[in-house]
A and B are shown apart, each in its own frame.
Chain A
Amino acid sequence: MATARLHRGLVALSASAVAAVYFAGYLRTQSADASIGAAAEPVALAQSAAMATPAPTVVVRTQPTARTVPAPPVVGRSTAPTAVPAPARSAPAANPAPAANAAPAAQGAYRDGTYTGSGSSRRGGVVVSLVVQGGRIASVTITQSTLQYPLRDIAGLPAQVVQRQTAQVDTVSRATYSSQAFKGAVAQALSKAA
């Protein structure tokens, strides 16, 4: 290549780029920059289960094994059930749920606690951690995945579970297997909470 002289320096260029960004103090000034939106929210930190026993070797490029799908906005805001845009659940007590594992018939239908469940498909499985508070599903987190597809395909499903209070969520088009594994995992976790 004729540009050999230019080749010198991508490492140096990257180092000066990092320094420039860091010392621009972006984090400190960002709130003044209205065009960029809200300041960073605090990051939810989880103690990594995989790391509880320090692994001797850090493996590069494994499939993600512990991914927390960011909590849906409804969690923790004590959104009233009536705020749920639910075609199927506007009258929970009177509405016989179509699904086997069934939306709760009334508040307190699930026992409070944290439950895990796993679900599988022909293309791998997921493990979820499901938290019930006040009888309602408060959050769902995908804690492990052996799916062959990126979890972002089903990133919207945990929020749907919280909204609808049931494992019967939409199957994401083109992510049929991932959706199936996820629903199975939620159903299993809910069966423990019933």
Chain B
Amino acid sequence: MGATAGLRATHAFATVSMDTVVNVQIVSDQPREAVEPAVQRALAWFETVERICTRFDPTSEVMQLLGKVGHPVRVSTLLFEVVAFALDLARQTDGAFDPTVGATLEQMGFNVHYRTGEAVHSGVAGKVSYADVRLDRRARSILLKRPVVLDLNAVAKGLAIDLAVQELHDQPDLCFEAGGDLAVRGTNASGELWHVGIQHPRAPGLLARTLRVTDVAVCTSGDYERRSPEPNAAGHILDARTGQSVTGLASVTVVAPTAMAADGLSTAAMVLGRERGLQLLEDQGVSGLLMSPDGTYVTTITGFGSDA
């Protein structure tokens, strides 16, 4: 890129947020100190998204809704948009993906705040669905018809990545990665498209594919990462209709223009399974790779056409 290509260096930053490691690589001819303030602002979005959307903190904005069941609550733009998107996703998967599984996840042992180590007990129980959450866009309000713990993990991290890279709009070349979900822009330090390896879900350290991409988000949902500490070690992705961990697919990788869409769609496709998951991704016009536990896979028509 340009005449200064020889001076470009990769500035790497790492921190922990949203229960995952966040790695930022900025390729720039500027010194690290010149880049760092923008990176700080980008990471501040992670803190903001987490603070508002976490179900592990009873004082978060989303958990405060529990105190006002039955009443519309005016909320921040951020919470409104996250919930609205999660409900859209729920509708379009006929409820297979459903953000109201928070209490169920809690009861399965996914209830420990990673910062404090403290377990949360919302006391919420009973069968709920996304139909128990009502939004009013004009009033920017959320109404819980009954006590619901919203689990926004499937979209909140993606949103945080999108906001972070938006904050870094001055940087033409970057890779922003959080727990395996990432967004890339421009080129790497060698001036090439970014190489993104997709981990094999059953062979740690082995790559299933390597993509060469730019100006996209790549998110993977897998059954192999967060497992419940319970002895039967259930996965963290539930089919809301059955309350069971999904078992049909080992991982789904989605390439999309936004991390929010890639994150949400990869989770939704995990729940839907191979055929319907593939159909969802095709319908949405995004690229995807769906791997089964036996190592076989299917891909959308575009984006994953050949091994790289």
Question: Taking beta carbons and an 8 Å cutoff, which residues of A are in contact with B?
Answer: 1, 3-4, 6-8, 10-11, 13-15, 17-18, 20-22, 24, 26-27, 30, 33, 35-37, 40-48, 50-52, 54, 56-70, 148-157, 159, 172, 174-175
21 residue pairs bridging A and B, Cβ less than 8 Å apart:
A1-B92, A6-B92, A13-B88, A15-B261, A21-B81, A27-B48, A35-B64, A40-B47, A42-B40, A45-B14, A45-B15, A48-B13, A51-B10, A54-B188, A58-B175, A58-B177, A60-B180, A61-B201, A62-B180, A69-B16, A155-B116
Select from chain A the residue with minimum beta-carbon distance to B109: A174
Pick out which of these stretches binds chain A: B99-107, B223-231, B238-246, B296-304: B223-231
Select which of A27, A54, A148 is within 8 A of B10 by beta carbon: A54
Is A35 touching B61 in the complex (CB atoms < 8 A)? yes
CB-contact partner of A43 in B43, B61, B94, B284, under 8 A: B43
Q: Are B210 and A57 in contact (CB under 8 A)?
A: yes
Q: Is the CB of B12 within 8 A of A7?
A: no
0 or 1 for each of B76-95: is its CB under 8 Å from A? (1 = yes): 11100110110011011010
Q: Given A33-B76, A47-B13, A60 and B218 touching (CB < 8 A)?
A: yes
Q: Is the CB of A20 within 8 A of B197?
A: no
Query: How many residues in B have their beta carbons less than 8 Å from beta carbons of A?
Result: 98
Cβ contacts under 8 Å, B91 to chain A = 3, 6
Cβ-defined contact, B48 with A40, below 8 A: yes
Question: 9 tightest A-B contacts by CB?
Answer: A156-B117, A152-B114, A51-B12, A48-B14, A61-B180, A17-B81, A14-B260, A24-B77, A14-B261
Once the chains are docked, how many angstroms separate the CA of A57 from the CA of B175? Answer: 11
Q: Which of B124-132, B144-152, B249-257 contacts A (4 or more CB under 8 A)?
A: B249-257
The chain B residue sitting closest to A24, CB to CB, is B77
Given contacts A36-B76, A47-B12, A58-B184, 9 further A-B contacts (CB under 8 A): A7-B280, A11-B258, A14-B162, A26-B78, A37-B51, A58-B177, A68-B16, A150-B226, A152-B117
**Chain A residues positioned under 8 Å from B41 (CB to CB):** 27
CB <8 Å contact, B265 and A52? no
A6→B286 CA distance, assembly (Å): 15
Asked whether, in the complex, the Cβ of A21 is within 8 Å of the Cβ of B61, the reply is no
Distance in Å: Cβ of A94 to nearest Cβ of chain B: 30
* B196 at interface, CB cutoff 8 A: yes
Q: Is B118 located at the chain interface by the 8 A CB criterion?
A: yes
Residues of A within 8 A of B136 (CB): none
| Residue contact A155 to B114, C-beta cutoff 8 Å | yes
CB distance from A4 to the nearest CB of B (A): 7
CB within 8 Å for A52 and B12 given contacts A64-B179, A149-B227: yes
* Cβ A45 vs Cβ B39 within 8 A: yes
In the complex, what residues of A have CB within 8 A of residue B222's CB?
Answer: 61
Contact between B117 and A157, CB atoms less than 8 A apart: yes
Neighbouring B residues of A43 by C-beta, 8 Å: 15, 17, 40, 43-44, 46-47
B159–A17 contact, CB under 8 A?
yes
A40-B51, A51-B12, A54-B12 given; A175·B21 CB < 8 A: no
Residues A7 and B283 in contact, CB atoms below 8 Å apart? yes
Contacts of B52 in A (CB 8 A): 36
Query: A24 to B12, Cβ gap below 8 A?
Result: no
B182 x A60 contact (CB < 8 A): yes
Given A17-B81, A36-B76, A155-B115, A44:B159 Cβ within 8 A = no
